[in-house]
Amino acid sequence: MKYRVTIDGREREVDVTIAPSGAIAVTLDGAKVDGEVRPVPGGVSVRLGARVHDVIVANAGGDEVQLAAGAARAVAHVLSERARADRKRAGGGASAKELRAPMPGRVVRVLCAAGESVTAGQPLVVVEAMKMENELRAPGDATIAQVHVSEGASVEGRALLVTFG
């Protein structure tokens, strides 16, 4: 399946084929890499070529995915070819109406307020989970309808943090 993945403003085309055995073939911007994916507690172990990474993957709402591998963290926006086509037919823009916690944790900072206009990728809430701070960002240009958490609050995984109007 083909995807558009954007990390740190850099958009890449990724085509992933997964065999029943767990073997994967990934084409990244036209370059093919063979590998394997195995589930491990809290995430997946990914081998691409000779490199192996244990990755924690959490959906943060909309097309946003939080990734953590060791000390490295990233927020990726992932859209399948089908979702991109649907979004274009609908007139573009993000369709997410809410932002949810990717995993249980503690709200460290709230960087937005009700009524505020935000842009795609703008940091909204920082949640500390598993001793790492996860900066959760706006999935698209929107207006904040309501902020449902405050700094210091404990949240469960998938807890509603922000709704967009």
- In angstroms, rounded to a whole number, what is the distance separating the alpha carbons of residues 156 and 165? 23
The CATH number of the domain covering residues in 2-164 = 2.40.50.100
pLDDT band at residue 153 under the 50/70/90 scheme: very high
Mean pLDDT value across residues 112-133: 89
Partnered with residue 31 across adjacent β-strands are: 28
What 8-state DSSP symbol labels residue 160?
E
Residue type, 150: S
pLDDT band at residue 132 under the 50/70/90 scheme: confident
Residue 137: count other Cβ atoms within 10 Å of its Cβ: 23
- In angstroms, rounded to a whole number, what is the distance separating the alpha carbons of residues 137 and 122? 5
Q: What is the pLDDT of residue 93?
A: 46
Residues 162/139, Cβ–Cβ less than 8 Å:
no
Longest Cα–Cα distance of the chain, Å, equals 49
What 8-state DSSP symbol labels residue 83?
H
Inform me whether the pLDDT recorded for 27 exceeds 50.
yes
Question: Which of the given ranges, 43-47, 60-64, 152-156, has the highest pLDDT on average?
Answer: 152-156
Q: What is the pLDDT of residue 61?
A: 63
- In angstroms, rounded to a whole number, what is the distance separating the alpha carbons of residues 148 and 21? 43
Q: What are phi and psi of 70, to 5 degrees?
A: 60, -130
Residue spans of the domains in the chain: they are: 2-164
How big is the chain, counted in residues? 165
